[in-house]
Structure 1
Amino acid sequence: MLWEWLVMPQGLKNAPATFNRCVTHLLRSVRDFAPSYFDDVFVHSPAMNGKTDVDVHKEHLRKLLGLMRKHKLYANLKKCIFGVSEIPILGCLVGRNGVRPDPEKVRVISEWPTLSNVKELRQFLGLATYLCKYVESYAGKIRPLSQLLKKEAEWKWTAECQQAFDAVKQGLTKAPILAVADQYCPFHVVCDASDFAIGCALMQ
């Protein structure tokens, strides 16, 4: 008797990359308005050609769902969000007014207690780095904290470390709303570097 998988099993090393490549390939014809990220698909629909954004959104959804049905891609209805002006994506809220950090993640960072060991520092920087695009000169600000992660570094929480810790928290609580990229406008790369930090951003 021969057993054969009908779906991709969890736990295979290449499963996420293979799945992502498959979804991206199958939905390539709608990626202008429905980009995907692994098992998430985001449908954004502006008003155009005399139609309201709601009418355009319905058309986009019909095209996407028809394509998913054709290729036997299934969605969990309980996890779907339809017809809203803002959705959560990768720790951010994306909507018609721009991109802003998830208030819950900002709250967690702003209430984070003073760090007492390397493990706590890694946890803090892991979450903060996830939202670093909202903090100006992030790499420079966290330098005193990064020094504590060096292999031979002794754990010593100084006033400079506390200042860097507070600067990151304050930077996120005052985070700007970023504009959504316009695919029809030119992009440019902005880079900056110093003796101890380097940064790069894709901007319009």
Structure 2
Amino acid sequence: MPKRNISRCVMDEVKIARRHGPPGGRRCGGTVHITDSVTTTVITVVSKVTDCTDETREKMAGLLRLRAETISVSDDDLGSKAIKQAPHRLPVRQNEDVETHVQRMLERGLIEPTVGPWFSLMVLVNKKDGSSLFCVDYRELNEVTRKDAQLLPRIDATLDASAGAKWITTLDLASGYWQVEVDGRDHEETAFAIPLGLNQFKVMPFGLCNAPGTFQRLMQRNLSGLVGNPAYLLRDERRASHPHKGDVQTASGGVRLKMKPEKCQLMKKQVIYLRHVTTPAGIKGDPQMTAVVQQWCILRCVREVRQFLGLASYYRLFIKDYARVADPLHELTRKGEKWHYGPSQEGASKLLLVSTLVLGHPDFSRPCALDVDDSDAAIRAVLNQTKEDVLRYMLYCGIYTVH
């Protein structure tokens, strides 16, 4: 099945323009929306007609524009059939929650009733506090979607942006995705089914494969006035508080996105950001996540071991001798290895993240020293730096288990 061309993403204030086809243009409410590629194709075709007057060529171009939906501009714009998933019956106990979620979104103007050929299935996900989260399963829609290759910032690069900071501010948007409008032509593809009928999103929902890239592009546009990489919300202030205030004002302006005050951290010496604690002295792991790992119950199967190692590995840069400590657990995940969860494995799971290192911020104006080592179980490389005659760790270190 050919994938539909939805790669076009035009930011007009906070609106998304997404396209699922048909080729070239689309009728919506009696209006044909014509893409730039169709206009270029029409001009090219008409320019090759030499046996008629300019007036006739202009009339021909107008006729072609009226039939824009029939013009193919590439091999990938033939489109696909509308996604219509087989409906399933909701558990009776969820009916009231679904009605509450839908009614709340209708009142806020986030969704609207619809009739059309598209719809995906909604699911309720239970949260730890006993409430439910309303989600839509867009996996089948994503399969026929041309992916947006917008790069997302690396976590380590984002954390590096706080190097040299005296004051740190983080701004948390209130339902950030829902502050981005979906182009009216593409509402129908976001439709979801509930027992009472179909509704479609007027704002960008979670679950669309191109939603993260679209939101990142919006943030880059909104932060374009900041010095340095505009993708980072963590900004440094090396001299005084005034530049920092200006950065905060720039970040909070732009397209006037609304923030959630209780989740914003203003003018702090220490903030928790991306599951890390960032301070002027350096960066360390989030103590709350450390506590989660420490409270993990006994691992009962290979799947649970991999889940545990995945969480622990997220903070491997901050764990002294991580590879050596984690090696007994890695042994359980090796192909053909017989399951044996003994004292060494249990001890390894308890040692991980009990104590974490504080990695200093890099200062690229100073020389660095590379410290390497290896053993039968692991290899190690740590980039050190001296500051005020004291050797400290930098953010760049890697310790890997030898398999």
Alignment of 1:8-157 (within 5 A): 8-24=204-220, 27-30=223-226, 32=228, 35-36=231-232, 41-46=233-238, 48=239, 51=240, 54-66=241-253, 69=254, 71=255, 73-157=257-341
Distance 1:115-1:96 versus aligned 2 partners, 3 A rule? same
Letter aligned with residue 114 of structure 1: I
Q: Is the 8 A contact 2:372 2:381 kept in 1?
A: yes
Give the whole-Å Cα distance in 1 for the aligned partners of 2:247 and 2:276. Answer: 23
1:59 is paired with a residue whose SS is: helix
Letter aligned with residue 306 of structure 2: R
Q: Is the 8 A contact 1:118 1:149 kept in 2?
A: yes
Give the whole-Å Cα distance in 1 for the aligned partners of 2:267 and 2:258. Answer: 19
Q: After superposition, give the CA deviation of every residue in 1:53-103 in whole Å (9 maximum; x if it has no partner).
A: x3332122123334xx2x455533343221221111121110223212212
Greater shift in the superposed pair: 15-24 or 54-63: 15-24
Alpha-carbon RMSD: 3.1
Q: Is the 8 A contact 2:324 2:377 kept in 1?
A: yes
1:120 is paired with a residue whose SS is: helix
1:83 is paired with a residue whose SS is: strand
Distance 1:155-1:191 versus aligned 2 partners, 3 A rule? same
Question: Structure 2 length normalisation: TM-score?
Answer: 0.40
Counting matched residue pairs gives 189
Q: Is the 8 A contact 1:33 1:44 kept in 2?
A: no
Q: Is the 8 A contact 2:225 2:250 kept in 1?
A: no
Letter aligned with residue 80 of structure 1: C
Q: Is the 8 A contact 1:34 1:43 kept in 2?
A: no
Tell me, which stretches of 5 or more residues in structure 1 are unaligned?
none
1:173 is paired with a residue whose SS is: coil
Distance 1:76-1:183 versus aligned 2 partners, 3 A rule? farther
Alignment of 1:187-202 (within 5 A): 192-200=373-381
Give the whole-Å Cα distance in 2 for the aligned partners of 1:29 and 1:94. Answer: 24
1:134 CA displacement: 1.1
Distance 1:102-1:198 versus aligned 2 partners, 3 A rule? same
Q: Higher strand share goes to which structure?
A: 2
Q: Return the index of the structure with the highest Cα Rg.
A: 2
Give the whole-Å Cα distance in 2 for the aligned partners of 1:182 and 1:19. Answer: 31
2:268 is paired with a residue whose SS is: coil
Question: Which residue of the other structure, out of 343, 361, 374, is the alignment partner of 1:180?
Answer: 361
Q: After superposition, give the CA deviation of every residue in 1:139-184 in whole Å (9 maximum; x if it has no partner).
A: 232122112112333221123323322332xxx2322222123354
Letter aligned with residue 259 of structure 2: A
Percent sequence identity over aligned pairs: 29
Q: Is the 8 A contact 1:35 1:42 kept in 2?
A: no
1:116 is paired with a residue whose SS is: coil
